[in-house]
Amino acid sequence: MIFTNGSDITKKECQIKFDEIDEATEKRMTKDLIAYETRHGIDVNYRRFSVVISNEKDEIFGVLNAYTAFAEIYVDDIWVDSSYRGKGYGRQLLSALENHFKGQGFNNINLVTSAFQAPEFYKKCGFKAEFTRENKKNPKLSKTFFVKFFNEDSETQGILR
């Protein structure tokens, strides 16, 4: 796809495509984003991580993938092997996440789930539904956005000192 910028003074062509980026571009982009956030007194505080649960044979049967950004923890995925579901392990993963970050100055944990997944589970775990984006053509794909706030005296994450 070729796009032009529409200016009468100069016509520059560029290509927009879906592609992987190389390490040098990733570093340049990250450096520029951090500089922008720093100018606004913000610390991006971005870190990806996983919380895992395993059995006595050290076989992993549950994973919570998440990341920190600014003053929030975002949950990407929670998976519990089908033979272990319904036994409280998903709740244990969420509790471990909450306990690990409690008292560290974060504002909240948030996540998004589809209607066919587990919205009732997250409510039982103390998450509050902020809103639902309804999919009228396929209601199973309606998305509910959940949040659980930390009750902290001080929110220090995401702010440059």
pLDDT digits (tens, 9 = 90+) for 84-116: 999 999 999 999 999 999 999 999 999 999 999
Flag whether pLDDT at 154 surpasses 80.
no
161 inside domain: no
Q: How many domains does the chain have?
A: 1
13 inside domain: no
Q: What percent of the chain has pLDDT over 90?
A: 71
Mean pLDDT (the chain, rounded): 90
Flag whether pLDDT at 2 surpasses 60.
no
* pLDDT value, residue 5: 56
* pLDDT value, residue 9: 45
| b/e per residue 71-82 (b: at least 16 CB within 10 A) | bbbbbeebebee
15 inside domain: no
**Average pLDDT for residues 19-29, to the nearest whole number?**
93
Tell me the per-residue pLDDT of 5-22, one tens digit each, with 9 for 90 and over.
555 445 578 888 898 999
Strands (E) across 9-59 are located at 13-15, 47-54
12 inside domain: no
* pLDDT value, residue 74: 97
Domain containing 133 equals 43-149
**Average pLDDT for residues 54-83, to the nearest whole number?**
96
22 inside domain: no
3 inside domain: no
Flag whether pLDDT at 67 surpasses 50.
yes
CATH value at residue 47: 3.40.630.30
Is residue 39 within a helix (H) or strand (E), and if so which, with residue range? helix 23-39
Is residue 94 within a helix (H) or strand (E), and if so which, with residue range? helix 89-101
| 1: confidence class by pLDDT, cuts 50, 70, 90 | very low
